[in-house]
Amino acid sequence: MVFKVYFPSCCASAESGLLIGRWIPEQNSAVVLAVVHFPFIPGQVKQYLSEVQRVTQVNMSVLGSWSNSKQEKQKSLDKFLEDLSTIFSHEPWIQLSKERDSKVWSCCTFQKHPSIPKEDEFILVYYDQRKVMLSQLHPPDNLTTSAGHKRDDASKLTAVFDTVVKSKVLFMTDRYDDGPIKLTHWQSEGVEASIIVELMKQASVPVCMLLTFLLSLVSSVCKSRVLKFWPLSFIWSKLSTCEQLGHRLEHLQIISSNRKAQNQTQLMRFCVKANIFVSLFIDMALGILLMSWLYRENRIGQLADTLIPVADHIAEELQDLLQWLMGVPAGLKMNRALDQVLGRFFLYHIHLWISYIDLMSPFIEMILWYVGLSACLGLTVALSILSDIIALLTFHIYCFYVYGARLYCLKIYGLSSLWRLFRGKKWNVLRQRVDSCSYDLDQLFIGTLLFTILLFLLPTTALYYLVFTLLRLLVVIVQGLIHLLVDLIDSLPFYSVILRLCRSYRLAAGVKFRVLEQKAGKPLRLLMQINPLSYGSVVQTYRLPTYACYPKDSWSSLCKKLFVGELIYPWKHKGEKQD
């Protein structure tokens, strides 16, 4: 029979006394929680234990005796300890003893009715009570099912951790309290507490209530009917700034709410709120830093002064590009008439755009100045505004892309349909397949004519489509990078990472054992330490949910869409309706 005794390392230097804790019969293991010192009255000890058992729901009892003899072994003390086993009947009765100046301990048990006479083997596992109490095992195991029965196959270590955590009440008395019983445990030198933590706990309740009130006001304003009219709601959904602000509003609501989520322990819930809080704090700190840098030395004015020339420069570059396409681009010979039509059409658009920019130029500085103030709401908001400004400035590229893509798409569909006619086949809409069909002579004649025209006009349209698609993809990639950065700041769990850095025992992936000095014939001694979670798992477990932008299509479907001429929207936002 192998007996395991989990002994707290803080009690290793305690005076002789009784061991109290929990006996787990399925695992043949005893979890020692504290040591009761002499003198005590057995009746009072039993009463105290039953009170603690009622409060903590942990099956606590006197497990055995502990003797830490400073002098030579005393026979009388042994007899006394044996007699104690008759007073506190517990099966089996464990006797731990440690001699002075000796590192190895001895352990034996008394069993009133030994079932099978076998050699007992003992394993002594030392654990740090404070760390085991404060740590949280990942993944969190819910030991009790809905019926309240404990699962038989529950992890052994979770049972040990659970026992220590639930016995919190036992550790609330220290040795300066005047009680009938003197205990030794991790807080017996003095109960640990922190003034800052207590003050923050007291202050958090009114702050949360105020925050909830303010947030309900803001969200009622946002949800009002005035802002739901069609043009406004369309604009709100397209601007990434509004999405980011709404996201942050949700985060604030999570902090101030008291909802208890399923499958999450207290530490995890606290971590979620703390992560959001630290993320908001860092965001605002960086935003204010950015703002102080921007508003110094009139940088806003400089930015506004360079913005208009940059927009003009882009428009001029586009005009040069179109002139190049209207000529002999890359040595290819274009169809002159179509080339001129398309080129002039796009040039007229650019002319409209340049005049629009010139109209806006006096107001740009003022607009930028006020918009820059919103950077104090956070760096993520500033980056979202930047992304929106880029989208607005390159709106003409988007329009050109749409025109080119639609034209090209029409051409491709026309070509494929007429190609089928050329071979004598037809697309059967009812059966969704290609069927053979006999055409009239004039149908064949016109069809072939149109097919030839479309085929020879294909290179021109394809070139315009290619050029504008590349430009559009460039803009999309830049916007995607900005959104990636915003996402990173939004979702990174800063508090959990700092906790893992400073107090690594709070986030435990498991335990690890170290074998201590052994002596033949004495029980095996192991030191149980907390194995902290790796940084990757910390980030993965505590990641804040975001409206992440991730690629909607795989590479192959993206290429197919590009080839056919369908409009691509490479970044899909979570929660957007599928097109």
Q: Are 353 and 398 in contact (CB under 8 A)?
A: no
The length of the chain in residues reads 579
Q: How far is the CB of 484 from other proteins (least distance, A)?
A: 25
Q: How far is the CB of 165 from other proteins (least distance, A)?
A: 19
What residue ranges bind other proteins (CB under 8 A)? 1-2, 4, 9, 12-13, 28, 103, 116, 121, 123, 125-126, 153, 155-157, 510-520, 522-524, 526-527, 531
Between 128 and 490, CB nearer to other proteins: 128
Instruction: Return left, alpha or beta for 389; rule: phi > 0 is left, psi -120 to 50 is alpha, else beta.
Output: alpha
Q: How far is the CB of 511 from other proteins (least distance, A)?
A: 6
Between 73 and 514, CB nearer to other proteins: 514
Between 13 and 556, CB nearer to other proteins: 13
Q: How far is the CB of 11 from other proteins (least distance, A)?
A: 12
Q: How far is the CB of 167 from other proteins (least distance, A)?
A: 22
Between 16 and 479, CB nearer to other proteins: 16
Between 413 and 535, CB nearer to other proteins: 535
Q: How far is the CB of 398 from other proteins (least distance, A)?
A: 40
Q: How far is the CB of 3 from other proteins (least distance, A)?
A: 9
Is 578 buried (19+), middle (13-18) or exposed (0-12) by CB count in 10 A?
exposed
Q: Are 334 and 463 in contact (CB under 8 A)?
A: yes
Instruction: Say which residues have a Cβ less than 8 Å from residue 386's Cβ, sequence separation at least 6.
Output: 482
Between 155 and 212, CB nearer to other proteins: 155
- The 3-class secondary structure across 311-366, one letter per residue, is HHHHHHHHHHHHHHHHCCHHHCCCCHHHHHHHHHHHHHHHHHHHHHHHHHHHHHHH
Which two three-digit tokens encode residue 152? 């038989």
Q: Please enumerate, as own/partner, the contacts of 275-280 that have beta carbons within 8 Å and a separation of 24 or more.
A: 275/493, 275/494, 275/495, 275/496, 275/542, 275/544, 276/251, 276/252, 276/544, 277/495, 278/494, 278/495, 278/498, 279/251, 279/489, 279/490, 279/492, 279/493, 279/494, 279/544, 280/248, 280/251, 280/252, 280/378
Q: How far is the CB of 120 from other proteins (least distance, A)?
A: 11
Between 57 and 518, CB nearer to other proteins: 518
In terms of DSSP bridges, do strands 121-127 and 524-532 run parallel, antiparallel, or are they unpaired?
parallel
- Give exposure, 449-468, as e/b (b: 16+ Cβ within 10 Å): eebeebeebeebbbbbbebb
Q: Identify any residues that bridge with 121 across adjacent strands, giving them in sequence order.
A: 2
Q: Are 382 and 485 in contact (CB under 8 A)?
A: no
Q: How far is the CB of 531 from other proteins (least distance, A)?
A: 6
Residue 260 sits at φ, ψ, to 5 deg, of -100, 115
For the packed helices 240-256 and 441-491, what is the interaxial angle rounded to 10 degrees? 40
Between 1 and 389, CB nearer to other proteins: 1
Q: Identify any residues that bridge with 32 across adjacent strands, giving them in sequence order.
A: 21
Between 4 and 396, CB nearer to other proteins: 4
Between 154 and 497, CB nearer to other proteins: 154
Q: How far is the CB of 115 from other proteins (least distance, A)?
A: 9
Which two three-digit tokens encode residue 526? 């192991």
